[in-house]
Amino acid sequence: MNWRSIWAIARKDLKEVRQNKAAWAPAIVVPLMFAIIMPLVFIILPQVIPVEDVEREMGDIATLLKNMPPTLKMIFDGKSLEQMFVIYMAGFMLAPMFLVMPLMFSSVVGSDSFVGERERKTMEALLYAPTSDMELFLGKVLAAVLPAIGLSWMTYMVYIVVVNVASFNLFGGIWFPLASWWPMMFWLTPALAVLGISATVLVSSRVKTFMEAYQLSGSLVVLVLALVVGQVTGVLFLGIGTALVIGAVIWLVDAALIYISVKKFKRSSLIARL
């Protein structure tokens, strides 16, 4: 395995996608909104609106808290109404939104790299390079996965800083991230980044344009939205155990998809699609 070639392919793909602002800008801007604007709204809101409104809102939340596993409920013990509201919104409700980032970013880069390259007719010259099919595949996968994870982690850091700074007075110290965020960051996020790219590779053999590939693989976001709905309805809470289990399932799916992708990623079939 020639790692110099693999990194060269990954670097080249990233340089290329960096120039395609229309592709990556929405994938970065939206999560940044979740990292900065949304927490500010949810943290500042209970401090400026009348207490009765917060109480009414908390009445709804209280029903949801009933369904919460005792381990998660402990977090709310002894907290004021405002604090409970902020923990609930910033610590739970917004959490799944951050999982959109690795999925979307790896889909964008993957679509540009696997389908965009074919669309721009640059694939043929690449196939004539003295690299193996596996090196070519790995280079393209790394170009999508590594920045997806890196950018997600950066967004988490921004969010952690924003939440703690904005709610410092309310809590009198640093309280975030909650324990459940650690598996989300280091277990679920990489799993979703790999899911995004492996789905894109499979989709890439059936579509002709970058946009088609992006839209198809991007539709995986529905999975993440299911988590949001789960939490809002109180059916599913993103605690440590849940994050670990969901992560494990996604990693298994990743392994299966990557296995199929590697089998399918052959020069002879790639050239036939040009």
Partner 1 sequence: MTQPVIEVTKLERAFGANRAVDGMTFDVEPGEVFGLLGPNGAGKTTTVRLLNGILPPSGGTMRVFGLDPATQGELVRKQTGVLTETPSHYERLSARENLEFFGTLAEIPKQALGSRVLKILSFFGLESRANDKVETYSKGMKQRLALARALVHEPPLLFLDEPTSGLDPEAAQQVNDLIASLSRRSGQTVVLATHNLLDAQRLCDRVAILNKGRILALGSLKELSRKLWPVTWVDITLFNGTSAESASASIKALGGVRQVTAEKESLAIQVEAEEVIPQVVSALARENIPMLKVNPRAYTLEDIYFALQAGEG
Binding site for partner 1 (CB under 8 A): 2, 4-5, 8-9, 12, 15-16, 19-20, 120-122, 124-125, 127-132, 267-268, 271-272
The size of the chain, in residues, is 274
CA 121 – CA 111 distance, rounded (Å): 14
In the complex, what is the shortest distance from the CB of residue 200 to partner 1, in angstroms, rounded to a whole number? 19
CA 254 – CA 266 distance, rounded (Å): 19
In the complex, what is the shortest distance from the CB of residue 209 to partner 1, in angstroms, rounded to a whole number? 16
In the complex, what is the shortest distance from the CB of residue 134 to partner 1, in angstroms, rounded to a whole number? 11
Q: Please, which residue, 82 or 135, has the CB nearer to partner 1? A: 135
Residue type (1 letter), 62: A
In the complex, what is the shortest distance from the CB of residue 14 to partner 1, in angstroms, rounded to a whole number? 11
Q: Please, which residue, 6 or 101, has the CB nearer to partner 1? A: 6
Q: Please, which residue, 79 or 267, has the CB nearer to partner 1? A: 267
Is residue 177 within a helix (H) or strand (E), and if so which, with residue range?
A: none
Q: Please, which residue, 109 or 250, has the CB nearer to partner 1? A: 109
Q: Are 41 and 166 in contact (CB under 8 A)?
A: no
In the complex, what is the shortest distance from the CB of residue 21 to partner 1, in angstroms, rounded to a whole number? 11
Q: Please, which residue, 21 or 73, has the CB nearer to partner 1? A: 21
Long-range contacts of 149-152 (CB under 8 A, 24+ apart): 149/102, 149/189, 149/190, 149/193, 151/28, 151/101, 151/105, 152/31, 152/98, 152/101, 152/102, 152/105, 152/185, 152/189, 152/193
Nearest-10 crossing angle of helices 100-110, 221-232: 170
In the complex, what is the shortest distance from the CB of residue 125 to partner 1, in angstroms, rounded to a whole number? 6
Q: Helix H segments across the chain? A: 3-19, 21-48, 51-67, 70-73, 81-86, 100-110, 117-119, 123-127, 133-166, 168-171, 181-183, 189-204, 210-218, 221-232, 240-264, 267-272
In the complex, what is the shortest distance from the CB of residue 113 to partner 1, in angstroms, rounded to a whole number? 11
